[in-house]
Structure 1
Amino acid sequence: MALISINPTTGETIREYEEMIQREIEQILSQSQNIFLKWRRTDFAHRSGLLKKAA
């Protein structure tokens, strides 16, 4: 069953999302945790530079 995002003003479908299986969710959470641990070891000056580039 898909999850559907609908604009409440227009009733227009914005996007449909397919449900994930447990294995996919666990993999994404594991990747997120690893990236977070790497990010928190990154010094402030480097993080700041990356965020300025993204903005």
Structure 2
Amino acid sequence: MLMSMILNRVAAWRRYRQAFRELDGLTDRELAELGFGRRDIRTLARQAAAM
């Protein structure tokens, strides 16, 4: 049980980092076209990791 909780947290962290990297790689213009700004990247990455 503890091991599965740890593995789930690690997987969520990896999803967060991947989403963060992808969003951070977009230009300000690309983010604006999606309706977001740089300040939204962490929140969006957290939401993506929670899925």
CA distance in structure 2 between the aligned counterparts of 1:34 and 1:48, rounded to whole angstroms: 20
- Structure 1 unaligned spans of 5+: 1-19
Q: Which has the higher contact order (CA 8 A, sep 6+)?
A: 2
TM-score (norm 1): 0.52
Aligned-residue RMSD, C-alpha:
1.7
Q: How many residues are aligned here?
A: 33
| Distance apart, 1:51 and its partner CA | 2.2
Higher strand fraction (1 or 2)? 1
> What 5-or-longer segments of structure 2 have no aligned partner?
37-51
What percentage of aligned pairs have identical amino acids?
Answer: 6
Partner of 1:37: 21
Moved over 2 A (4+): none
